[in-house]
Structure 1
Amino acid sequence: MTSSTLTPSSTRTTSSTMTPSSTNVEEGCYSQSNGNRVLPTDDDISSSAMTIPMCSAHCQALSKPYIALHKGKECSCGSTLDTSGHTLLADSECDKACSGDDSTSCGATWKVSVFKNS
């Protein structure tokens, strides 16, 4: 399967005690490397209780609409999404459960689940 056959388009509504509710549009699952990250920022957080809403609230507080979750516990934020140099993967490739909510996925090793707050 090539990346051109995949189109990210799903929407998830999440809620959290950190924010009343937010809508996160799923941009897809992308590959990344240490030297070429999907959202290269210094705004990363890591938590043993990471959830999509936790990451979303963190990025909203920084006025950054894009969120990337990886390794089940790490969150990155970004103002823009540049996927050049990254492969769009099947959603099933981002299969690491979120450390704070094992019913949702938060990327994987060298793979990120990317969402946009709206």
Structure 2
Amino acid sequence: MTLLLHLLLLLFIPLLTAADATVSIYDDSDKYIYYGCYNETTQVPGSAETRALGGGIDESLPGEMTVPKCLAFCGNGSTEYRYAGLEWSRECWCAQTLSGIAEKLDDTACNYPCEGDNTTACGGSLKLSVYRASFASRLASSSVFCLTIAGLVMARMLW
């Protein structure tokens, strides 16, 4: 009975702490920008229980999850995922696409604080704080490369 009680407490601690929490949206990444709060799609009729951020990778860090940890997990591996999402204060989901049946919600619906940083939003109950890879950082590096190539071609044509 004691083990069951502990498990139930672990499941509902985010609910208790989120009720009075005031959290902010993380906006200090040079790789990802905040995209919005979206519903999880596993319980949407006709979804076949697929996730809003399915087909990628995920990790759960009870007591430790922060937005920077999730963004690093999604963006620093051998595959850089386009989307990163945080759910239930401790879960990180990475995927190349966001499900078309996921609906954008008001940002206040993603009001669970991260378990590793109680001032920052980490989704909610069946709600994801979603971040999308910023194309500005990629565009800047690819533009420099393209301009360099174009300059070399132009120089070669003039000779």
Decide: shared fold, TM above 0.5.
yes
Q: C-alpha separation between the residues in 1 aligned to 2:103 and 2:50?
A: 12
Which has the higher relative contact order, 1 or 2, with Cα contacts under 8 A spaced 6 or more apart?
1
Higher-helix-fraction structure: 2
Question: C-alpha deviations, 1:82-102, integer Å up to 9, x for none?
Answer: 3x2122110000000001011
How many residue pairs were aligned?
101
Q: C-alpha separation between the residues in 1 aligned to 2:55 and 2:67?
A: 18
Deviation of 1:38 after TM superposition, in Å, equals 1.4
The gaps in structure 1 that reach 5 residues or longer are: 1-9, 15-21
Q: C-alpha separation between the residues in 1 aligned to 2:126 and 2:26?
A: 23
Higher-strand-fraction structure: 1
Aligned-residue identity in percent? 33
Q: TM-score, normalised by structure 2?
A: 0.58
What RMSD, in angstroms, separates the aligned Cα atoms of the two structures? 1.9
Q: Equivalent residue of 1:59, what SS?
A: helix
Larger radius of gyration: 2
Aligned residue number for residue 79 of structure 1? 96
Q: C-alpha separation between the residues in 1 aligned to 2:131 and 2:39?
A: 14
Give structure 1 regions of 4+ aligned residues with deviation exceeding 4 angstroms. none
The gaps in structure 2 that reach 5 residues or longer are: 1-24, 43-48, 135-159
State the AA in 2 paired with 1:75.
C
Aligned residue number for residue 12 of structure 2? none
Q: TM-score, normalised by structure 1?
A: 0.77
Which one of the candidate residues 13, 25, 40 is aligned to 2:33?
A: 25
Question: C-alpha deviations, 1:30-80, integer Å up to 9, x for none?
Answer: 111321321113511000200110000001123112101000000000122
